[in-house]
Amino acid sequence: MAAKDLFHEAVKIALQKENWAITDDPLKLEVAGAKLEIDLGSERLLAAQRENEKIAVEIKSFLSDSPITDYHAALGQFLNYRLALELSEPDRTLYLAIPSITHKSFFQREFAQLSIERYQIKRIICDPTN
């Protein structure tokens, strides 16, 4: 099992506060000969539709001296996980959880914004102290 990111528990608690049930910690997939572990699997009941909304969340702390290097690694992992989910659990939507400080300092840059738009990266922005 891979090491958990620094603010794994903060994201998990934030999801639970928003009425998400954590179903997998981690969400393990075996797809096309690859074994993968996405940090969290979660779902919640959509009462109006009487069905479950399912998500997977990959958590990244962005703690190195180079946010662009961290982003390269996160993006590659995110795209591979999204492909695996499309093949194995197409009803589950993948999110990238990032700390609010990284959102403010890195993800507001033009390059990051263009990349997020191009690759359609859904994000959860979390304040790990709250």
If 0-12 CB within 10 Å is exposed, 13-18 middle and 19+ buried, where does residue 94 land?
buried
Alpha-carbon gap, residue 15 to 17, rounded angstroms: 5
Looking at every residue in the chain, the average pLDDT score rounds to: 92
For the cut 60, the answer to whether the pLDDT of residue 45 exceeds it is yes
Using pLDDT thresholds of 50, 70 and 90, give the confidence band for residue 112. Answer: very high
Contacts of residue 85, defined as CB under 8 A and 6 or more positions apart, other chains included, come to 29, 38, 56, 92, 94
Using pLDDT thresholds of 50, 70 and 90, give the confidence band for residue 2. Answer: low
What's the pTM? Answer: 0.90
